[in-house]
Chain A
Amino acid sequence: MSRARFVLAELATGLRRNVSMTVAVIIVTFVSLTFVAAAALTQMQIGNLKDDWYDKVEVSIFLCPSDSSVPTCADGEVTAAQRDEILAVLNSDSVAPYIDTVYTESKQEAYDALQEQMAGTVWAESVTVDLMQMSFRVKLKDPEQYQVVADAVAGRPGVDSVRDQRQILEPLFVILQRATLLSAGLAAVMIIAAVLLITTTIRLSALSRRRETGIMRLVGASNLFIQLPFMIEGALAATVGSLLALGALYFGVRYLIEDWLANSLQWANLVTTDDVLAIAPWLVLIAIALAAFSSAVALSRYTRV
């Protein structure tokens, strides 16, 4: 009991003596952890979008129609033999493991789909079943493995073209990935600043209480007991910083994304404040780890027995 009271009293003295430095530590951890969390949320957003869309996208292998200028279609419309050969490739040992299902869309089905989509337009009225293309709709186990299928069938006789629907989404993912990278880069720089600042603050605090720590060592206080007030000082400042970061993110997501962006982008599954709460413990943990690491570095030199 008296031990705890003593540590708390030492802690209060330390905090009072370095108010400005403590505030600086809080701000730097706040900013750095905001970037860490922003990177994490962007990654979660990418994950959400992939989950939503990747199981809807498929690779379409369009087979030669009666008139096509592509060299592999020089022999005219795809024959039954060519079709079987392409299916055999898709079922071969080197390609089959990547494929979930293959659906054959006949010309009639393609025509029906077009009629439904374009009903009432001049397009729908001018095409005939015969003008449509037959195609294989391949659903992949991992949508990222598009290239395996494309390489296997592209250029084979009877194949007109291979299209990956995922490519339509790709630019969006590239933007989000770069945003993550930027955020993570800024976070890394800010974390270095935070570590240096926490180290300096603790060192300053330890230096200003050299006399006390010197006597503590002489009368045989344990290392932990001498170092604890300094460690708690750093950890406390870092934790406050992480809580501020969480608060900023919570309200940012709440007002910018949930209240505003979600209304205009209803097709997308956006990150929510629940996601912020999900990463909250990790953020606080990172803050405490930062402080622990910094104090270990700072104190190893100044309060050694």
Chain B
Amino acid sequence: MIRFQNVSKVYARGARAAVDRVTLDVERGEFLFLVGSSGSGKSTCLRLALREERPTGGKIFVAGRDLSTLRQWKVPHLRRQIGVVFQDFRLLPNKTVFDNVAFALQVLGKPRHHIMTTVPETLDLVGLDGKGKRYPHELSGGEQQRVAIARAFVNRPAILLADEPTGNLDPATSVGIMRLLDRINRTGTTIVMATHDDEIVDQMRKRVVELADGAIVRDQSRGVYGAAR
């Protein structure tokens, strides 16, 4: 589903590579943790997969597309197959929960009846049924992240990228979010989650890829956060 072939990313000439000759294969329906300290290149890998950045070396394939030859005007089509969740939720404060999720469909020009059925379904899936009329500031952090996940998933993308989705949440709330991501993963969605949270990684027992200084130092199925710790 996602394939990195010897991918490097150097931001400024002469600077250390943010991503250094990474080769990685993520299968359809897989759940993968990307771990490593701050600045190890986790977020850059996610940005590369989204084509927010372009690699300085190597090739990237996402959902069957070669990103190096993908035309600029086709980038939106790529992104419709990828949902993204961030640490800081990125909700629109002046829109209700329902409208925040509906926004993702409206901007793709989806018909109204489709929005009216899909959004409540998705809110139900993430455990926010009945909260559609609330505003983001009226919700807890965990609930806000559920809204963000609903927005990322409402268009049923094949891939979900999550950049430290539990970074702002307490451990108990994080467990709830992880259960939700696991449920989404079981619908067949490929999930790549960058995280610092060792407890979560140890609990989930999924594939773990560890980055250090932009290079892969470990790739382990059913792994834990860090063998060295």
Residue-wise interface mask of B (100-142) relative to A, using a CB-CB cutoff of 8 A (1 in contact, 0 not): 0001101111111001000000000000000000000000000
Q: Which residues of A have CB within 8 Å of B155?
A: 219-220
Residue-wise interface mask of A (167-197) relative to B, using a CB-CB cutoff of 8 A (1 in contact, 0 not): 0000000000000000000000000000000
**Could you tell me which residues of chain A, from 204 to 226, have a CB within 8 Å of some CB in chain B?**
211-212, 214-223, 225-226
Instruction: State whether the Cβ of A128 lies closer than 8 Å to any Cβ in chain B.
Output: no
Whether A212 contacts B92 by the Cβ 8 Å rule is yes
Question: A218 CA to B108 CA in the complex, in Å?
Answer: 11
Instruction: State whether the Cβ of A251 lies closer than 8 Å to any Cβ in chain B.
Output: no
Query: Chain A binding site: helix, strand, loop or mixed by DSSP?
Result: helix
Question: A221 CA to B151 CA in the complex, in Å?
Answer: 14
Whether A219 contacts B79 by the Cβ 8 Å rule is yes
Whether B109 contacts A215 by the Cβ 8 Å rule is no
Instruction: State whether the Cβ of B78 lies closer than 8 Å to any Cβ in chain A.
Output: yes
Nearest CB on B from A294, distance (A): 22
**Could you tell me which residues of chain B, from 141 to 170, have a CB within 8 Å of some CB in chain A?**
151-152, 155
Whether A2 contacts B103 by the Cβ 8 Å rule is no
Taking each of A221, A223, A225, which has the highest tally of chain B beta carbons within 10 Å of its own beta carbon? A221
Q: Of all chain B residues, which has the CB nearest A219?
A: B104
**Could you tell me which residues of chain B, from 165 to 213, have a CB within 8 Å of some CB in chain A?**
none
Q: Which residues of A have CB within 8 Å of B103?
A: 212, 215, 219
Q: Which residues of B have CB within 8 Å of A222?
A: 73, 76
Whether A220 contacts B112 by the Cβ 8 Å rule is no
Q: Of all chain B residues, which has the CB nearest A225?
A: B107
Instruction: State whether the Cβ of A305 lies closer than 8 Å to any Cβ in chain B.
Output: yes
Whether B90 contacts A214 by the Cβ 8 Å rule is yes
Nearest CB on A from B78, distance (A): 7
Whether A219 contacts B109 by the Cβ 8 Å rule is no
Nearest CB on A from B62, distance (A): 13
Question: Provided the pairs A2-B106, A3-B109, A215-B103 are in contact, do residues A220 and B80 lie with their beta carbons within 8 angstroms?
Answer: yes
Whether B75 contacts A216 by the Cβ 8 Å rule is no
Q: Which residues of B contact A (CB under 8 A)?
A: 50, 72-73, 75-84, 90, 92, 103-104, 106-112, 115, 151-152, 155
A-B CB proximity, top 9 nearest: A220-B79, A220-B80, A221-B107, A3-B109, A219-B104, A220-B76, A216-B107, A222-B76, A6-B106
Apart from A220-B77, A226-B107, list 18 A-B contacts with CB within 8 A: A1-B111, A2-B109, A2-B111, A3-B109, A6-B106, A215-B151, A216-B107, A217-B76, A218-B84, A219-B79, A219-B80, A219-B152, A219-B155, A220-B82, A222-B73, A223-B76, A225-B107, A305-B76
Q: List 15 A-B contacts (CB under 8 A).
A: A6-B106, A6-B109, A214-B90, A215-B92, A215-B103, A215-B104, A218-B84, A219-B83, A219-B107, A220-B82, A221-B76, A221-B108, A225-B107, A225-B109, A305-B72
